[in-house]
Amino acid sequence: MNTNKILAISFLLSMFTVLLAQNKDPYNLQKWNVFDINKLSTKFSNTNVLANGTNQPNIFPAYPPAMEYPTGSGLNYAGAISFVVGGRRQADAGGLNPHDWAYFDSGLEEGPAWIWDPHHFQSYKDLVNGDRTPMNDDPESWPNWPQFLPNYTYLTMDGLNNLTPTENISLPQIPILIDSTTGWPGAGPNGETIADQESFSIAHTCNYVAEKDPGQTERWLNIQTITRGMAWKLPKYEDMIFWQMEVRNMGEEIEQCLIGIFSNYQFVADFQPFGGAATGGSGGEDILYWDDARQLVYGTDFDGFEFDIRGNTIPSYKIPWGGTVVLKTPRNMGVTKFDVYDGLKLFSTQDENGIWADQLYNYNLLNEGDPDDPDGDGIDEGPYRDPWNDEWNNYKFGYPYSIMSAGPFDMQPGEIDTLIIATIFGQNKEDLLKNVDNAIALYKLNFNVPKPPPEPQVIGIAGDEQVTLKWGKESETHPLFEGYRIYRSDDQGATWSSVYATDENGTPIAPIPMDQYDLDNEYSGTHLDDPLFYLGSNTGLEPIMNIDENNDTTYEWTDRTVYNNYTYRYWVAAYSHGDELEEPLETPPGNQPFLENDNTVEVIPSTATATNSLEKVTVVPNPYIVSAAWESEIGERKIAFSGLSGNCVIRIYNVAGELVKMINHSDGTSFAYWDLQNNNNQEAAPGLYFYHVDAGKIGTSIGKFVIIL
């Protein structure tokens, strides 16, 4: 890019910032928060953006994590996911509609291109407190909840910019139901909190700059949205997040209304400038399928060749499958329109998507005249033409975007219609479809999720080559409590065992615990209805029981199979034995081991002081696997030298005998880290390495270790 273009872009960005500053408040009402309670994480907004990686994820407005799977991996799989609403009106909020053009309102922020101008939805100032979208486990994000849903919107840009509302006095007052125990407006029928993690936001439509007739003012549908997200920790539901949007017509009748969900999945969407493509990874080699029976759009990477955010190759087995399933639609009509299109195609083409609202409405919501819909029923079912080799397939290839919607129908003043979807991932196609079926079943059960025993509240105590865990009896209040399982992760929670039980397809689904203790009762062995759930061997709890001087009972367990100066994470799971109405369940691991009252802890065993000999010098991990899951933070790469004296020099050589790195260790501790950078600050290549530790009069130590790609 030449200097003039860079200066022009910088100027536009600065002017954009100035304009935002002049805007009194509305733009700044958009807030974000993160679902991270289970294996699927995403940053979402109070303006109906469920994920926002954008088509240019290295620049604003990309907000990672964007459907990160698994949580903490740094691998993201969504360019953008957002609810959309379209319809027709002669006159509406923001201005007249002399051409009878259709409306297309969404929360999309696909990138800086003007065709995806953002903020078609905006929050209410009454529902904003601080800098985060309200979530049940984040009380600081809660506003002072109003008693009723707002009965006002903004009908002009002047009114919006000055926060001058227009109230519709003919609308009924709809109460916001609050959980009397928690104070949270829960997703249950009477305001109960039903999920482990919930979000709640209310927005109205607006449109700052886009989709207007030449010479006319900005236009938008006069609607309100009430949006919830729900996620659970239980392993059966740990790969999914549920989303519900209620659309409330705040004005005149909307003709030919459609309510839907836009999904742009990228396998993999990177947030660093590696991979050489705007969307990251190897670029443009994703595929999407349509499953009519499940009302599901899903996909993965085509060739199993992608890069992580450091530019390293991701093994194909680590690239998951993901998608969006529609669970409830307005009028229970199901998905009536499904359009999938290649983001690389030119805009304003009949078979792809348009620029203006009218074109987006006709081509993507109504899905008119699409060659991928040969029978003209509004559902793209292919066959799809592969633009690269002119072949026809049962999947859409390229950068496939999609919109699933229900309609058209006429929406009366004050009417409320509901769309419920779930974003879901799996390790492979079979795992994904199993998770989708679990999500459909849970929806049909009205999200009535059985509860495992309460989480044990665990503390971890580091020792010299040992870790001790302690916890109390809080889990035993569950009426079906059976016992405890202890798991250890050597990779910051990415995996919880070196051995996993697998399903019939060989997919790892259940980690094998390091240790297990259960009540001595009639429940033992493999559960009759779940062959992968082992109830225990009637060990009793006495082997780990500790009664203190106050006669209080706690539990204590020690791991003596650890290396010093290496990070370990532990998960103590309480589990139930189940009965004729409820399956056996165990408490899943928390994702934040540094929080109090959690069932996971992170501990680094170490010696209290440096050694006076080099007899126990150890390198961990050995071998070191590049891009392994134990790299808990992006950019973090290190190995530990343990058993050192307080002052020594570590020299690292390659197999050619060349000095790769020299580390002067002088802080008096027994350990030192190497960040895998050589003396020229370049990353060390994979291979065999030798180390030489020189502690002067104390002596020397020589050993070797391996770095593996």
The per-residue pLDDT for 54 is 64
From the number of C-beta atoms within 10 Å of its C-beta (0-12, 13-18, 19+), residue 451 rates as middle
pLDDT of 469 over the 90 cut: yes
Q: Is 116 helix (H, G, I), strand (E, B) or coil?
A: helix
Q: Who has greater pLDDT, 288 or 311?
A: 288
Which is it for strands 553-559 and 466-471: parallel, antiparallel or unpaired? antiparallel
Provide, rounded to the nearest whole percent, the portion of the chain with pLDDT above 90. Answer: 49
Tell me if 65 sits within 8 A of 42, measured CB to CB. Answer: yes
Q: Who has greater pLDDT, 647 or 53?
A: 647
pLDDT of 695 over the 60 cut: yes
Q: Is 473 helix (H, G, I), strand (E, B) or coil?
A: coil
> Tell me: the pLDDT tens digits for 221-237?
899 999 999 999 988 99
The per-residue pLDDT for 665 is 93
How many CB atoms are closer than 10 A to CB 429? 15
Report the alpha-carbon distance of residue 269 to residue 282 in Å, rounded. 10
Average pLDDT over residues 555-582: 91
pLDDT of 400 over the 80 cut: yes
pLDDT of 246 over the 90 cut: yes
Q: What is this structure's pTM?
A: 0.77
- pLDDT band, very low/low/confident/very high, at 501 (cuts 50, 70, 90): confident
Average pLDDT over residues 78-93: 83
- pLDDT band, very low/low/confident/very high, at 464 (cuts 50, 70, 90): confident
Provide, rounded to the nearest whole percent, the portion of the chain with pLDDT above 70. Answer: 83
Cα angle for residues 631, 633, 634 (degrees, 5° grid): 95
Average pLDDT over residues 562-585: 90
The per-residue pLDDT for 23 is 38
pLDDT of 337 over the 60 cut: yes
Report the alpha-carbon distance of residue 398 to residue 342 in Å, rounded. 6
pLDDT of 75 over the 70 cut: yes
Tell me if 421 sits within 8 A of 330, measured CB to CB. Answer: no
pLDDT averaged over every residue in the chain? 84
Tell me if 110 sits within 8 A of 80, measured CB to CB. Answer: yes
Buried b (16+ CB within 10 A) or exposed e, 68-105: bbbbbbbbbbbbbbbbbbbbbbeebbbbebeeebbbbb
pLDDT of 376 over the 80 cut: yes
Average pLDDT over residues 680-707: 92
- pLDDT band, very low/low/confident/very high, at 69 (cuts 50, 70, 90): very high
Average pLDDT over residues 586-592: 85
pLDDT of 354 over the 90 cut: no
For 289, 330, 333, 436, the CA distances from 440, given in Å and listed in that order, are 18, 17, 16, 6
Q: Who has greater pLDDT, 519 or 94?
A: 519
Cα angle for residues 37, 292, 283 (degrees, 5° grid): 60
The per-residue pLDDT for 529 is 81
From the number of C-beta atoms within 10 Å of its C-beta (0-12, 13-18, 19+), residue 412 rates as exposed
Could you say which DSSP state residue 63 is in? B
Q: Is 237 helix (H, G, I), strand (E, B) or coil?
A: helix
> Tell me: the pLDDT tens digits for 159-192?
877 778 889 999 999 999 999 999 999 999 999 9
Structure tokens at 204: 């109205």
CA 5 to mean position of chain CA atoms: 35
Supply φ then ψ for residue 675, to 5 degrees.
Answer: -85, 15
Radius of gyration of the chain (CA): 28
